[in-house]
Structure 1
């Protein structure tokens, strides 16, 4: 069940500020407050979706297309689409998802290390 009081829902409602990079009808992108790379931006859908399972099952086609296009546009805006970047979506407890609102991280601006550290 979607928690309407999660931090990303509050950002979408304008209750908490963010350092916005991009916004359109379907998505919002903003700088992560605890960056893990030289460039670290979060991209979230504007719809109330807990995770990828919820989004895949319940989002409308235009929402899905809008989010995917937003990921590409943000990479272009950040200047990493030609040099390379990583996008990461954590899903559920074991996947490391901390906020129960679907979101993707875009990392770049430097050579990135291994995908998973053990």
Structure 2
């Protein structure tokens, strides 16, 4: 099985603008931003999508959300931000490696999509 795009970024085979990194995840700027701030919070452990996660992934998934809050605070986003996780083709998932989108600094519509 070939590496996902995100695994190649984590392994530094493909360059990316890194905002944050720790031993469990990496946060990069999206190359096709949908908002002035559009970051991807990616676990270093490959989980194809949230619908395929297992109970053993609970701490990792929680870490992604906590990291989103840490990064948002660092970027000083006082008006708020949105977190999005796509799961499958109907949700516009393009990379089969779970990741959280952090979008901010523009008014986002509701309902989304």
TM-score, length of structure 2 as denominator length:
0.89
RMSD of aligned alpha carbons: 1.7
Cα deviation, residue 4, structure 1:
4.2
Is 1:66 paired with 2:63?
A: yes
Aligned to 1:106: 102
TM-score, length of structure 1 as denominator length:
0.85
- In structure 2, C-alpha distance between the alignment counterparts of 1:70 and 1:32, rounded to whole Å: 16
Aligned to 1:30: 28
- In structure 1, C-alpha distance between the alignment counterparts of 2:28 and 2:95, rounded to whole Å: 15
C-alpha change, 1:61 and 1:32, in structure 2 (3 Å) is same
Aligned to 2:14: 16
Check the 8 A contact 2:38/2:103 in 1, yes or no. Answer: yes
How many positions carry a matched residue from both structures? 113
- In structure 1, C-alpha distance between the alignment counterparts of 2:2 and 2:10, rounded to whole Å: 10
Structure 2 stretches of 5 or more lacking a match? none
Check the 8 A contact 2:64/2:100 in 1, yes or no. Answer: no
